[in-house]
């Protein structure tokens, strides 16, 4: 199920921007926080569809997101990630 108002469910919702918009090795700490987030996929889709340039979103750094966008620039990432989530859920059952 896709969560429309995902920010209320995000693990990082109580973090300060300074904790989330970091550089270098500090990004790995933020990415670890994302691993257990229930709305990681929604967060990532938001960043990709809106081409957000800074920070860690959905467990990916800006460099990682740019690489995805270069490979598939015209995609609706929400649709791609929703479909992938549905396929994974069907395979698990």
Position 17 scores a pLDDT of 86
The mean of the pLDDT values for the chain is 92
Q: Indicate whether 68 belongs to any domain.
A: yes
Residue 93: is its pLDDT beyond 80? no
Q: Indicate whether 3 belongs to any domain.
A: no
The annotation status of 43 as a binding-site residue, yes or no, is yes
| Predicted TM-score of the model (pTM) | 0.89
Q: Indicate whether 63 belongs to any domain.
A: yes
Q: Indicate whether 4 belongs to any domain.
A: no
The annotation status of 34 as a binding-site residue, yes or no, is yes
Which residues is 57 bridged to in the sheet?
60
The annotation status of 37 as a binding-site residue, yes or no, is yes
Q: Indicate whether 2 belongs to any domain.
A: no
**Structural domain total, the chain:** 1
Containing domain of residue 29, as a range? 11-92
Q: Are 44 and 58 in contact (CB under 8 A)?
A: yes
Q: Indicate whether 5 belongs to any domain.
A: no
Q: Indicate whether 53 belongs to any domain.
A: yes
Q: Indicate whether 6 belongs to any domain.
A: no
């Amino acid at each position: 199920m896709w969560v429309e108002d995902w920010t209320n469910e995000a693990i990082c919702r109580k973090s300060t921007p300074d904790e989330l918009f970091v550089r270098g090795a500090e990004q790995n700490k933020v990415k670890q926080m994302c691993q257990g987030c229930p709305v990681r996929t929604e967060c990532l889709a938001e960043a990709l569809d809106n081409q957000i340039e800074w920070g860690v979103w959905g467990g990916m750094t800006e460099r990682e997101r740019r690489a995805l966008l270069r490979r598939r620039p015209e995609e609706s990432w929400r649709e791609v990630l929703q479909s992938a989530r549905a396929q994974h859920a069907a395979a698990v059952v």
